[in-house]
Amino acid sequence: MGAWGEARPWASDSVERMRVKLRDACRVAFSPDGRNLVEVGRAVPGGYVRMWDAGAGSILYEHLEADGPSFGLAFGPTGKKFATGNIADVVRVRDS
């Protein structure tokens, strides 16, 4: 574990460490193949969903949500989709 708000997980397909600034992350999850990392969390005024390339440490996808932060996060078994659930009881299934 790095400094406060920073995670340094090992990428599954390499020996290089990925540094991800998680800011206000509530949950993080790796895709089943270990190539992507998704984080959900708080952002003013709602929440956000962010997908990272775990090997490169770059953002692939980012979306701000007006109806509140997500606290639930899970990948499907193939890794092609993931689901988020927020405090407004809204569940969204997204392509990864």
**pLDDT tens string for the chain (96 positions)?**
444 455 555 544 433 444 445 667 788 899 999 999 999 988 767 888 989 888 887 889 898 888 888 889 999 999 999 999 988 888 999 998
Cα 90 from Cα 68, distance rounded (Å): 9
CB 7 within 8 A of CB 22: yes
Bridge partners of 7, per DSSP, are 20
Give the phi and the psi of residue 71 in degrees, each rounded to 5: -120, -5
Q: What is the pTM of this model?
A: 0.73
Alpha-carbon distance values, 95 to 10, 21, 51, 83 (Å):
24, 23, 11, 9
